[in-house]
């Protein structure tokens, strides 16, 4: 319930993109945007998500950007714009990871 309240405020008040804007479950059906995902597509996306998670490239991309966001945004920032930019980038990474995690756990 807490997550639903957080998502409501993030989506409607702050206007942030959340993973449920991309992929969500309604009445047992998984939707990608407004389109329902078929069982065959679920299996395919599940395999792709698991493959992505196991790739070194995925780790490098995520960890490198997270580290740079921390260094430049939190540790070394001198203005609020630096901090806000780093937070935005970190938020995008979080949404991407949430989508891949969700698809990897589909089956």
58-99 pLDDT, tens per residue?
999 889 988 988 888 888 888 888 888 888 888 889 999 999
**Exposure pattern of 34-47 as b/e (b: 16+ CB <10 Å)?**
eeebeeeeeeebbe
- Judge contact between 85 and 73, C-beta under 8 A: yes
12-69 pLDDT, tens per residue?
666 778 888 889 888 888 999 889 999 999 999 999 999 999 999 999 988 998 898 8
State the Cα–Cα distance between residues 40 and 72, nearest whole angstrom.
43
Split into its structural domains, the chain has a count of 1
Host domain of residue 71: 2-104
* 0.85 exceeded by pTM: no
The number of beta carbons lying within 10 Å of the beta carbon of residue 31 is: 14
């Amino acid at each position: 319930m807490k997550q639903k309240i957080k998502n409501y405020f993030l989506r409607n008040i702050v206007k942030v993109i959340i993973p449920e804007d991309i992929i969500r479950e309604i009445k047992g059906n998984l939707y990608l945007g407004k389109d329902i995902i078929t069982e065959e597509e679920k299996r395919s996306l599940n395999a792709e998500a698991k493959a992505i998670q196991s790739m070194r490239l995925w780790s490098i991309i995520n960890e490198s950007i997270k580290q740079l966001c921390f260094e430049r945004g939190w540790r070394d920032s001198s203005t609020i714009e630096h901090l806000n930019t780093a937070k935005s980038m970190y938020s995008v990474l979080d949404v991407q990871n949430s989508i891949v995690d969700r698809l990897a756990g589909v089956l």
